[in-house]
Structure 1
Amino acid sequence: MRKVSIGKQDYESLIKSGCFYVDKTYFIKEWWESQDDVTLITRPRRFGKTLNMSMLECFFSNKYAGRSDLFEGLSIWNDEKYRQLQGTYPVIFISFASVKETKLENAKYRICSLVSEIYEANRYLLKGDLLSDNEKEQFVNVKANMNSIGVVDAIKLLAGYMERYYGKKVIILIDEYDTPLQEAYVGGYWNDMVGFIRSFFNSTFKTNPYLDRAIMTGITRVSKESIFSDLNNLNVITTTNDEYNTSFGFTENEVFAALDEAGLSEKKDDVKLWYDGFTFGKHKDIYNPWSITNYLDKKEFKTYWADTSSNSLVGKLIQRGSPKIKKAMEKLLNGEYITVGIDEQIVFDQLDNDEDAIWSLLLASGYLKVDSMDICVSTGEQKYELSLTNLEVRVMFQKLIKGWFGRTNGASDEFVDALLNGDIKAMNYYMNKIALATFSYFDVGNRPSEYIEPERFYHGFVLGLMVGQREDYAIKSNRESGFGRYDIIMLPCNIENKRLPAIVIEFKVHDSDEEKSLADTVAVAHKQIEEKRYDEEILALGIEKERIRHYGFAFEGKKVLIG
C-alpha cells in the first residue's frame, strides 16, 4: 500500500512524495473543454477541492513549465494536446480558507494580506520598464494594511501586469470563496461583507479584460443576488448538477480498489455503510476522501469527516429551529427521509426565517443526500426527498445533540436510566435539574397563547435525551396507534428481551384554565393514553401488557412533573 498522507493539499508535494493519490486529472480536460469563462463548483468540505485547484495550478501555470514529472502516468498525460498545454499560462491562485474572523475589519485585513502575498510572489514585474512609475507605486502599495477599497481592483490590476509580461491572458483560481461569507453570517457582519465581496468579484471576473478564464470552489452557492449580480458569464455547478460529478470525492470503484491495495477487501461493506452515500448529479455512491484516507491510514471506523468541523452553524440552526425542524431531524435520525423544497442559492441572512434554506445548507454541506426529486407539473415546484448521508453523519448528529445536554453534569444519563428502570422519583429529580440547566438555552414559549409550540418543544427536547438509546430501542413519535397519535413510543429492538420495557410518553403543557395543578395535567396525559389506546401498536408486536409503561409529562415553563 502506498503511504497515505493525511491533510496534504499541495498537489506537487503529494505527487513527488509518491503518496496515495486517486487520479482526478481528467478534471483538467473536462473543465478546459467546457470553455466557460467563470466556473463555480460547490462541494462539501474535505472533498478534494483545494487539491484539485492546486493540480490546476501545477498543470497550467508557467511556473511549472516542463514539469512532466507531475503528470506522467496519469490520465491527462495520455493526450498529446494537453502535454503541449501544460505550463503555458500565467496563473493567479488565491485561497480564502484562512479568512475565519469574528469581525469585519479583521476579515478584510486577512483578505488584503492574502492579496499582498500574491503581489510579493510576483515582484519580478517591477523590474525594467514593464510598469510605469505610477503602476510601480500602486504595486508596492498593495500591503496587508492597505485600504480595503484598494484591494477590490488588486487582482484585476495584477492580471493586467502579468498579461503584459507574458503576452497571454491570465487564469484565476479562487478556492473556498464562501468561507468569508459563512464566517460573516456567524459573526454578524453579513451585509457589510457581501458588499465588499461583490465589488471584489465584479472587478476580478466581470470587468477584467485580462482574464482568460477562472474557476472558484466552495461549499455553498451563495445567492446570485447577494454577490454575483453582475456576473452573467458564470456557470454554477452544485451537487445536483451532472458536470464534474466524479471529479471531487472518490467513486465506489476507486474506494474498493484502494481497499484491495491495502489488504482490506473484507471491509468493503462496513466502509460503504460508514462513508458512502454522497450523490452528485445522477452519480450515486460517492465517498468523502477525508474519511477514506483516514480509514486507510488508521484502519478504524470513526467520524473523521464529521469531526473536521465544529459543526457550530449546523448545531445553531437546528437547536434554534422551529419544532417542525426538530421533528424533521428526528425522522432523519430514525433512518427516514424528509420531503422539502430546495433552493440551492443560499442566502445566509435568511437561514433564521426560511426552513428550506436550512435544508439547502445541510444538503450543500454534505449532511444530507438526495434520494429522489419530483417536479409538480402544474406549478413547476421541485420537491426533494432527503435523508442523512451515511452512518458517519448519523453518529455525528447523535454526538451533537447529546452535547447540548453536557451542561447537566450527567443528569441526562441519570434521567434515562430512571426512565428505563421505572423510577418516577428519580425521573422527576433529574428532569427538573435538566430543565433548570438547559431550558433557557433553547427556545421555550411560556405564554398561554403558545400552548402548542411549547408542547412540541418539550417533545423534541426529550427525544434529544433519547438519542443514546437507539441501539436498544426503536423510537417513534407522532404516529397513529389505536384512535389517535401518540407523542413518543419506545419499542425494544429485541422484543424477546424481557428486561426492556416498552414505553409510551404523552406530553402536556399545563393549562391553568382547565387544570388546578401539574398533577392534574399528568392525569390528563394518562387519560389520553388510555382513551386513545396507544398500546395497540405495541400489543400487536406481541409485547405483553405488563411490560408497557405509561408516562405523563406535565410542563409549565421550567417546571416539570412526571407521573
Structure 2
Amino acid sequence: MRKDTLQDLPLGTSSFEALREAGEIYVDKTDFIFRLASKRRKLFLTRPRRFGKSLLISTLESLFKNGLQYFRNLKIEKLWKDERTYNVVRLDFSEIRDFRSSDEFAKKLTALIARKFNPVGLKYQISELFSMSDQLSDCLATLPTNSLVLLIDEYDAPLTACLNDFKLFDEVRLKLASFYAALKANEAAFRFIFITGITTFNKTSIFSELNNISDISLSPEYGTLLGYTHNEVKAYFADYLVQSATIVKEKEEKLFAELARQYDGFCFDRDASQKVFAPWSLLNFFEDPRSGFVDYWFESGGKPNVLQKYLQSHSLRNPKEYGKEKTVSINVLSGASDPNSLSDIGLLTQTGYLTIKKVEGETVYVGYPNSEVRTAMAQLYIEQLLAGKTLEQAGADRIVHRLETKGAESIVCMLNRLFASLDYVNYPVRNEASLRAFIQVFFSGAGLEPIVEHHNAHGRSDLEVRAGEKVWLFELKVAKEGENSERLLREAIEQIRERRYGYSLLDKTLIRVALVFSLEKKEFIRWKAFA
C-alpha cells in the first residue's frame, strides 16, 4: 500500500475547517460535541498539551458560526437541531503570555479583547474613567440574549508565565478576574462558554466571577473526548496500521501492542475506566514508522511552560521516588491550586507526566501512562541528579548501545562517569536504595525499562534491564568508610547464586554483575560479571 494512496493524517492541523477541506482523517468526536454544545452551558476542561484542545475549540467555533456546513457524514449531523448561527469570539491567551510587568500584560490583554470583540460591537476607547472591562460590559449589555459564543484556549498561559513571581501572578490574576466579572455581569448574552487549559487555577478567584461553570476535566462522560481509544485507532487508522506493520516487518497485532505500550495509557476520568493514546505521538509514528518509537510527545515541545516555571523555584520530589507508587487526593485534581501551594504530584498529573491508574475513595493512584512518558520523566530527574547535565554531557552517551554490545567493564566505567557527575549536595548516595534508584533513573532516561527488586521464590534481585538480546542483572552493595569491599563483593556474588537470581532468564543472553559502591570514593570499586 502506497503512502500517497492513504487519506492524509491530521498532523499539526488545529483548524477543523482546514482539516475537513483538506480531506484529512478526522476521528469523529462530534457525538461528544453535541452533548457539550446542545445546551446553554459554561464549561471548563483541562488536558495536557498536544492532546487536541485547539482542534476541539476550532470544531466548536465552526459548529456555532456555520452550523453543519463542515460536518457532513459526521455523527452530529443527525443530532444537531439548532438551525441558528451565532457570533463567536475566540480568544487564545497564549498570544499574551510574554510580558515582564503587570502594565505590559494589561496592555496586551486590552489589545486582544479589543481586537476579538470588535466584530460584535466593541469600540474600545482609551479612557481614565472607563476601563476595558467597563467598556466590554457595556458592549455585552447591548447584545441579544443567547446570541454570543465565547471560546477561550490556553486560559492559563498568562498565569503560568509568572508562576515563580507571586506578586506579578496576583496582579495578572486580578486583571483576568476583572475580565471574567464583565462576562458574569452580562451572562444573558452568552449561548455557550468553553474554556480550556493545562492546569487548574480556579481557586485563585478567577472563575469565581463566573457562576456555575462546570469543570468536566475528570468527568467519565468526557474521558475520551480528547485522545484516541483503541477502537478509534483500529477504525480510523487501519490502513496506516497495515502500512506500518509492513514497513517495520511486524505482525499488526504485535505492532499495535507495542504502540499501546509506547503511546497509550492516558486516563482522565475519576472512575479510572478509560484510556487513550496521545494523538501527537501516534500520528507522528504513522507519518514515519521507519524511525521507530520516537518520544514525540516530549521532544515536540519539551517541558510545558507551567512545569518549567515551577522547576525554576521548586524541585520535583527526590529522584528516588521515580519508580514508587504515587497518590494524590481527588481534591487536588478536581479543585485547584495557587502558586504557593502547587502539588508536584498534582501538577505532573495535570501536565500528563503522570496519569490516573485507580481511584479508591478520595485517593487517586497515579503513575506513568506509557514508555514514552516514563522516559521523559526520567530525563527530568536526570537533569536534577546531574545538576542540569544530560546523560551525554556526563559521558554516558548511547547507553542502550553499550548494554547491547559492550561488556561489564564498559558498563561499570560508564556508571562511574555518571556518579562522578552526580549532584551530591542535593542527591547523595546514602545506601543501596538510593544507589539502585539513581541507576534506575539513568537507564530509564535512556529509554530502557529496568525492573527493580524482581521477585522470585528465593528473593529479589536489585535491578534487571533488557537491552536487545541481552538481559543484565545487577546486585548492588554499598561500602561505608573502612568496610571490607572484597567481603561485600563475595556476599553479592553468593546472593546472586544462592537465591538463583536470573534463573528464569537463562534462555536469554544473561549477564549477572555484582558491584560494590564506595561511599567514600563515590564510585564502584569492586565488580564481577558472570553468566
Query: Which TM-score applies when normalising by structure 2?
Result: 0.76
CA distance in 1, matches of 2:274, 2:438: 34
How many positions carry a matched residue from both structures?
487
1:52 matched to 2:56:
yes
Change over 3 Å in CA distance of 1:439–1:226 after alignment to 2: farther
CA distance in 2, matches of 1:492, 1:465: 12
Contact residue 53 and residue 175 of structure 1 kept, 8 A: yes
Which residue, out of 8, 15, 21, partners 2:20?
15
CA distance in 2, matches of 1:535, 1:350: 51
Contact residue 178 and residue 220 of structure 1 kept, 8 A: yes
The AA in structure 1 aligned to 2:161 is E
In the alignment, which residue of structure 1 is the partner of 2:195? 216
The AA in structure 2 aligned to 1:301 is F
Counting only pairs closer than 5 Å after superposition, residues 124-523 of structure 1 correspond to structure 2 as 125=121, 139-141=123-125, 150-153=131-134, 155-161=136-142, 163=143, 169-186=147-164, 189-205=168-184, 208-238=187-217, 240-262=218-240, 263-264=242-243, 266=252, 267-281=255-269, 282=271, 283-299=273-289, 300-311=292-303, 313-314=306-307, 325-331=318-324, 337-342=325-330, 343-344=332-333, 345-350=335-340, 357-375=343-361, 382-402=362-382, 405=386, 406=389, 410-413=393-396, 421=408, 430=417, 433-435=420-422, 438-439=423-424, 443=426, 461=438, 463-467=440-444, 471=448, 474-476=451-453, 489-491=462-464, 493=466, 500=472, 502-506=474-478, 519-520=481-482, 523=483
CA distance in 1, matches of 2:226, 2:473: 47
The AA in structure 2 aligned to 1:96 is F
Change over 3 Å in CA distance of 1:481–1:201 after alignment to 2: farther
CA distance in 2, matches of 1:196, 1:68: 37
The AA in structure 1 aligned to 2:108 is R
Q: How far off is 1:291 after superposition?
A: 2.1
SS in 2 for 1:243: helix
Q: How far off is 1:389 after superposition?
A: 0.8
1:31 matched to 2:14:
no
Counting only pairs closer than 5 Å after superposition, residues 116-127 of structure 1 correspond to structure 2 as 116-122=114-120, 125=121
CA distance in 2, matches of 1:151, 1:461: 53
SS in 1 for 2:208: coil
CA RMSD, Structure 1 to Structure 2 (Å): 4.3
CA distance in 2, matches of 1:491, 1:150: 64
In the alignment, which residue of structure 1 is the partner of 2:93? 96
Q: How far off is 1:366 after superposition?
A: 2.1
Change over 3 Å in CA distance of 1:218–1:98 after alignment to 2: same
Contact residue 452 and residue 462 of structure 2 kept, 8 A: yes
CA distance in 1, matches of 2:181, 2:51: 27
SS in 2 for 1:278: coil
**1:348-372 deviation digits (Å, cap 9, x = unpaired):** 4245xx6xx2221222222222221
The AA in structure 2 aligned to 1:202 is A
Contact residue 112 and residue 148 of structure 1 kept, 8 A: no
The AA in structure 2 aligned to 1:430 is R
Contact residue 482 and residue 534 of structure 1 kept, 8 A: no
CA distance in 2, matches of 1:153, 1:427: 64
Q: How far off is 1:323 after superposition?
A: 8.7
The AA in structure 2 aligned to 1:100 is R
In the alignment, which residue of structure 1 is the partner of 2:516? 551
**1:209-229 deviation digits (Å, cap 9, x = unpaired):** 433331111122224244223
The AA in structure 2 aligned to 1:13 is A
SS in 1 for 2:222: coil
**1:162-208 deviation digits (Å, cap 9, x = unpaired):** x15xx753222111111211222156632222222222222223554
The AA in structure 2 aligned to 1:79 is L
Contact residue 100 and residue 180 of structure 1 kept, 8 A: yes
CA distance in 2, matches of 1:211, 1:17: 32
More displaced stretch, 222-231 vs 5-14 = 222-231
Q: How far off is 1:386 after superposition?
A: 1.5
SS in 1 for 2:37: helix
Q: Which has the larger radius of gyration?
A: 1
* Consecutive unaligned residues in structure 2, runs of 5 or more: 1-5, 246-251, 504-510, 526-531
CA distance in 1, matches of 2:52, 2:449: 37
In the alignment, which residue of structure 1 is the partner of 2:9? 4
**1:25-78 deviation digits (Å, cap 9, x = unpaired):** 223320234543x211122222222112112122112xx3xx643122212221
The AA in structure 2 aligned to 1:51 is L
More displaced stretch, 402-411 vs 342-351 = 402-411
SS in 2 for 1:309: coil
SS in 1 for 2:95: coil
CA distance in 2, matches of 1:415, 1:507: 29
SS in 2 for 1:549: strand
**1:253-299 deviation digits (Å, cap 9, x = unpaired):** 11111221333471322222222212232441322222232233223
SS in 2 for 1:180: helix
Q: How far off is 1:235 after superposition?
A: 1.0
SS in 2 for 1:294: helix
In the alignment, which residue of structure 2 is the partner of 1:130? none
